[in-house]
Amino acid sequence: MKVSKTKHRSWIYAALVLMLLALLSFSILPILSSIVQASQSDQTSVVTPESTRLENEALGYQLVLEREPDNENALLGLLETQLRQGDLEAAIAPLKRLAQLNPQQPDYGILLAQSQQQLKNYEAALKTYQEIVAANPGEMRALKGMVDLLMQQNRSQDAINLVQNTLNQAIKEQSNESASQSVFNLTSLQLLLGEIYSEQKRYEDALIIYDQAIKGDKNDFRPILAKAILVREQGKEKEAQTLFKEAILKAPVQYKEQLKDISLQSPKVDKNPETVEKTE
């Protein structure tokens, strides 16, 4: 059965992200994690018609790839089959080849890096992120992935240097040409740096960055939200509520209810404004 690349890509991205999330923690997604583990257990211990069908499908795609190693439809089909089998490790090879064939489309590379990180192959994940950033300097998902990976390895200063150097590059670029032509989102970079400082409890440094971001784009609600969350963590609830109201006022309609919920939660809340993207 023929399936378009677009349909394959959409399904694969959703399936892989779902698998990665399901494997993270029983405390976060207990039901989903149990289903995935049960599914994987069934596939490894019991031969079913479905598992046999998937094995045959995988073999068929592999035979095509022996003749045509760069056949993207076959690579996508093999990747989809391996994901349905719950075999994240086997999915690395087709993901890697798809990333190589599409260097200007970072989705495959980001999924590859996330998969490598999930499999605890941190060196490979970091290399993949670096390759994505080299080809797409302003790719925030890759930069965020690198930061998370470095922080996970207790390399906070390397994470700071990475974002600060990128931020310096963005500022230099925007001084030489119009901001609309820049590949960087200055505010997103500032938020990412502020997030690192906040995680290290370097609150004054984080506040400085957030204030710079607020001054740089008075219409962007994200740095206001970030500052609100930070001052709340410092026990300044009255100031935080003032900032929350301002952020809600400036936020696009689809985010207002989410921000209202955040503002009503208890002070010890781990909400990251980077997860709320600005609508252009």
Q: Decide if pLDDT at 25 tops 70.
A: no
| pLDDT score for 64 | 93
pLDDT tens track for 117-171: 888 999 999 999 999 998 888 899 999 999 999 999 999 999 999 999 999 998 8
Place of tokens 């230099």: 172
More confident residue, 204 or 107: 204
In whole angstroms, give the CA distance from residue 148 to residue 90: 24
- Cα dihedral 158, 164, 170, 174, rounded to 10, equals -170
In whole angstroms, give the CA distance from residue 3 to residue 133: 30
Are 163 and 134 contacting, i.e. CB atoms less than 8 angstroms apart?
Answer: no
More confident residue, 31 or 48: 48
Determine the average pLDDT of the residues in 194-207: 94
| pLDDT score for 265 | 84
Q: Decide if pLDDT at 21 tops 50.
A: no
Name the DSSP class of 180. G
Q: Counting every residue, how long is the chain?
A: 280
**Phi, psi torsion values for 271, nearest 5 degrees:** -115, 130
In whole angstroms, give the CA distance from residue 65 to residue 59: 10
What burial class does residue 68 get, using C-beta atoms within 10 Å of its C-beta: 0-12 exposed, 13-18 middle, 19+ buried? exposed
| pLDDT score for 142 | 92
pLDDT tens track for 166-189: 999 988 887 775 555 678 889 999
Are 255 and 276 contacting, i.e. CB atoms less than 8 angstroms apart?
Answer: yes
**Paired tokens of 110:** 């980001």
Backbone CA torsion sign across 120, 126, 131, 135: positive
Are 9 and 106 contacting, i.e. CB atoms less than 8 angstroms apart?
Answer: no
- Cα dihedral 218, 222, 225, 227, rounded to 10, equals -70
Q: What predicted TM-score, i.e. pTM, was given to this entire model? A: 0.73
